[in-house]
Structure 1
Amino acid sequence: MPTPLFDHKELLTLNTRDLPIYTDAMAPHFPGVDVQPLYLDPNLGVWALRVIFQPGVRLPCHYHTGPVHLFTLSGRWNYVEFPDQPQTAGCYLYEPGGSIHTFMVPQDNTEPTDTFMVVHGANVNFDQDGNFVNVMDATDIMQIIERLVKERGLQPARYIRPGNANYTAG
C-alpha cells in the first residue's frame, strides 16, 4: 500500500450551490460576466471557474498560452471565428494552447450561458485592432475576486488553492 504524500483529513470539495457567484466580476470592461472561482493555482497557472455569461456578452479576441477545457451547462455561445459551431448545453470543447478566438454569447439568448472551464496558462487579450490589452491568468482572477470582496463588503472567497512553493527541511 503506498504512503500518502499528504495527510488528507477531508476531501477538497466545493458545492457550487453554497458559494457566491461574483456578478459583473469583469466590469466595467466586460459587463455581464459572473464568476465563481473553484480552483486557482498561481504557481502552475491553472484556473477552474464556473462562469455565467449574460446574453450579448462579447469578450476580446484572445490567445491561449495553454490548453482549455470548457463545458457548457446551459445556454448557447460561439466563437466569432466559428459561427457555424455553436456550443450549447452538454457541449464539451477542448482548445489546444496557441488557440486564438473571440468568445460571444448571442444577444437573443433567452437565458444566461452557464459554463465550467479549466484553463492552463493565460489569456492574452487584444482589442479590435489587434493591439495588446492585458493578460488574464490565475493570479489576475485571484486579484479580481479579492478586490470584489473588499469593494462589496463580502465574506472572503472560498475556493481551492494549492500551497506555495517552499524549501524542504535541511
Structure 2
Amino acid sequence: MPFPFQISTHDALLTLDTQELPIYEDALPGIPGVDVQPLFLDPHNGVWVLRVKFKPGVVLPKHYHTGTVHFFTLSGRWHYLEYPVQPQTAGCYLYEPGGSIHTFATPADNDGITDTFMVVEGANVNFDQQGNYLGLMDASSIMGLIDALITERGLDPARYVTPPQPHYTDAPR
C-alpha cells in the first residue's frame, strides 16, 4: 500500500522550547494576575494550547465551553467555585466535556504561582456572575489579544505554532 498523499510539508519540526519563550504577564485585560504563553493557536479548527500561570486570588469569569478541554496542573492549586471540594493540585489532569460551565479560581492564600497547561477545542463564552454575556475567548481572539499586547508593550512578535494550511495543486472543482 502506498503512503497517503502528503498535504503539507515542512523542513523542520514544529517545536518550541517554552523555557526560551516569553510569558506575557497580565495578558488578560481587566483580570490581573494571569500570565499567558501561547503554544499553538489554530483559528481554522478552533484549537488553542496555552501555558498559563495564575497568581493567588485570581478569579476568571464564569464560562461555558463549546468544546472539550484537557487541563493539566503543573504546580500550585486551583478549583472551580462550583466544585470547591475538588481542588486541582500539582500533577492533576482534568478533562472538561463540551457544555461545561464553571468559574476558575486560585485561592488567595496560595503559596506562589499556579502553573497550568491546557488544550482547548472551541471557545469559552464568558459571563458575569449575574449571567450577563461578557465576551468570547477562542484561538482567533487570543491571537488578537497577544498581537495587541505586543504592539502596546513594544515587544518582539510572539512565537507559537500555527498549523500549515493545506496547499492544493489542483484548481477547485
TM-score interval, normalised by the smaller of the two chains: over 0.9
Aligned to 2:27: 25
SS for the counterpart of 2:144 is: helix
- Cα RMSD after superposing both structures: 1.5
User: How many equivalent residue pairs?
Assistant: 169
Q: How does 1:63-102 map to 2 (within 5 A)?
A: 63-102=64-103
Q: Deviations over 1:98-138 (max 9, x none)?
A: 00000000000011100000000000000111111101100
TM-fit CA distance, 1:92: 0.3
Provide the secondary structure at the position in 2 that maps to 1:151: helix
Gaps of 5+ in 1: none
TM-score by length of 1: 0.95
Q: Hey, what does 1:156 align to over in structure 2?
A: 157
Structure 2, unaligned stretches of length 5 or more? none
What displacement does 1:77 show?
Answer: 0.1
For residue 10 of structure 1, report the CA deviation from its aligned partner: 1.3
Structure 1: distance between partners of 2:166 and 2:132? 35
Query: 2:118 is aligned with what amino acid?
Result: M
For 2:110, the equivalent position in structure 1 comes to 109
CA distance in 1, matches of 2:42, 2:9: 20
Q: Quick one: distance in 1 between partners of 2:4 and 2:95?
A: 34
Per the alignment, in what secondary structure is the counterpart of residue 19 of structure 2?
A: helix
Q: TM-score, normalised by structure 2?
A: 0.93
Q: Name the CA distance, whole Å, in 1 between partners of 2:5 and 2:155.
A: 36
Q: CA deviation at 1:2?
A: 2.0
What is the CA–CA distance in structure 2 between the aligned matches of 1:109 and 1:12, rounded to whole Å?
Answer: 35
Q: For the structure 1 residues 166 and 12, does the alpha-carbon distance in structure 2 shift closer, same or farther, using more than 3 Å as the test? A: closer
- Percent identity between the aligned chains? 64
